[in-house]
């Protein structure tokens, strides 16, 4: 059952500059990597990854425009609309795996770190532009023995992109698979690094979504519906997508460069 439900926000946390987590009760099973369509009354409905999937569900919002600013301003006790969960989530790999999150994409991969019952088989690489945008590091450390961080400006951890950090990690240790979410340019170069090291991956993609449930076609990339066939795809599936890392569709369905 994934119809529309209006829920009361019961917890609100500021995670970093312009990044807010809202939590609410929702009696539905959610898998790591799935997303909700979140309705902000009077404003819009937007896709948001599930950043908490236990009894208390949650979303973590980065303010970019009208809907995300309105969502960030919702107060504890106020109501929001939730449809979903939607999409194909992350599958737990057999053996040791590496989870990579870039920017707000970290929120989407946190449940994939926590799905491992054995903290010694899940390693983590988290990357942000600067330390104030690095979210959920402590939460990741509770679920994994090996968490590395990178910042583009060198304000914390490895100085450079999370892709260069992952390249180093893949040189030192073997993994059965890599799980990732982040900006598409980051995923584009991450896929190259995975191919270089011969590691299969699961990556979560973002496209413009309207229905969120496979009906309207607005989120299509190379014939695949990101909302229903994804948002998580295997690296070898993404490698065949000509639009990946190059172009996306805007609100009107026009193809625009990434
Ligand atoms: C599967 C999925 C999961 C996502 N998870 C998160 C998350 O966990 N946290 C988070 O902060 N953001 C997430 N996003 C992005 C988020 O949906 C957009 O930032 C948001 O819709 C912007 O709306 P706005 O009105 O604030 O900004 P606008 O000013 O309307 O748009 C700013 C930019 O956001 C993107 N965008 C706008 N509307 C949509 C839409 N309906 N679908 C997809 N992209 C859109 C476009 O690139 C647009 O250029 C996710 C997107 C997808 C597709
Ligand atoms: S958003 Fe409508 S088909 Fe994906």
Q: How far is the CA of 53 from the centre of ligand 2 (A)?
A: 23
| Residue 32: per-residue pLDDT | 98
Å from CA of 95 to ligand 1 middle: 33
Which residue, chain included where needed, has tokens 């999370």? 162
Report pLDDT for 253. 87
Q: Is the pLDDT of residue 198 over 90?
A: yes
- Ligand 1 centroid vs 117 CA: distance in angstroms? 31
pTM score, two decimals? 0.96
- Tell me, what's the pLDDT at 234? 98
Instruction: Enumerate residues lining ligand 2, CB below 6 A.
Output: 209-212, 214-219, 225, 227
Q: pLDDT band for position 41 (50/70/90)?
A: confident
Does position 172 have pLDDT exceeding 70, yes or no?
yes
Gap from CA of 76 to ligand 1 centroid (Å): 22
Please give the Cα distance from 247 to 19 (Å, whole number). Answer: 26
Which pLDDT belongs to residue 2? 67
Give 219 Cα–ligand 2 centroid separation in angstroms.
Answer: 5
- At 252 the pLDDT is 87
Q: Residue 104: what pLDDT?
A: 94
Both tokens of 21, joined, read 């987590």
Say what the pLDDT of residue 129 is: 95
Name the percent of the chain lying above pLDDT 90.
93
What does the DSSP 8-state code read for residue 198? T
Cβ 44 under 6 angstroms from ligand 1: yes
The tens digit of pLDDT for each residue in 228-258 reads: 999 999 999 999 999 999 999 888 888 898 8
pLDDT tens digits, one per residue of 8-37: 999 999 998 899 999 999 999 999 999 999
Please tell me the number of the ligand nearest to residue 251's CA: 1
Using a 6 Å cutoff on CB, does residue 40 contact ligand 1?
no
* Residue of 213, 229, 249 to test ligand 2 pocket, by largest number of atoms within 8 Å of CB: 213
Verify whether ligand 1 is closer than 6 Å to residue 230 (CB atom). no
Which of 104, 5, 116, 96 minimizes the C-alpha distance to 60? 104
* Ligand 1 centroid – CA 10 distance (Å): 23
Q: What pLDDT, on a 0 to 100 scale, did the predictor assign at position 3?
A: 75
Pairing mode, strands 146-151 and 220-221: unpaired
Q: Among 22, 20, 47, which Cα is nearest to 36's? A: 47
C-beta of 48 in contact with ligand 1 (< 6 A): yes
Alpha carbon of 190 to ligand 2 centroid (Å): 26
Six-digit token pair at 170? 């893949």
CB of 65 closer than 6 A to ligand 1? yes
Compute the distance between CA of residue 37 and CA of residue 86 in angstroms, rounded to an integer: 8
Residues 88-123 have pLDDT tens digits of 999 999 999 999 999 999 999 999 999 999 999 999
């Amino acid at each position: 059952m994934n119809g529309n439900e209006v829920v009361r926000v019961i917890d609100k946390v500021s995670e970093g500059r312009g990044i807010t987590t809202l939590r609410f009760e929702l009696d539905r099973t959610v898998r790591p990597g799935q997303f909700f369509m979140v309705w902000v009354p009077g404003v819009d409905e937007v896709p948001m990854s599930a950043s908490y999937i236990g009894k208390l569900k949650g979303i973590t919002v980065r303010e970019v425009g009208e809907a995300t600013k309105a969502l960030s301003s919702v107060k504890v006790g106020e109501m929001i609309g939730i449809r979903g969960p939607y999409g194909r989530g992350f599958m737990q790999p057999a053996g040791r795996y590496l989870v990579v999150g870039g920017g707000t994409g970290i929120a989407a991969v946190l449940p994939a770190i926590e799905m491992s019952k054995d903290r010694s088989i899940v390693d983590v690489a988290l990357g942000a532009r600067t330390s104030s945008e690095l979210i959920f590091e402590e939460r990741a450390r509770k679920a994994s023995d090996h968490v590395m961080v990178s910042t583009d400006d060198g304000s914390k951890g490895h100085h450079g992109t999370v892709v260069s950090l992952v390249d180093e990690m893949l040189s030192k240790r073997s993994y059965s698979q890599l799980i990732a979410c982040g900006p598409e340019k980051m995923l584009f170069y991450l896929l190259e690094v995975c191919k270089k090291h011969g590691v299969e991956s699961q990556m979560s993609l973002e496209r413009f979504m309207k229905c969120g449930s496979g009906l309207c076609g607005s989120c299509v990339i190379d014939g695949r519906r990101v909302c229903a066939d994804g948002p998580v795809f295997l690296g070898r599936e993404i490698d065949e997508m000509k639009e990946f890392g190059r172009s996306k569709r805007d609100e009107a369905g026009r193809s625009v460069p990434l």
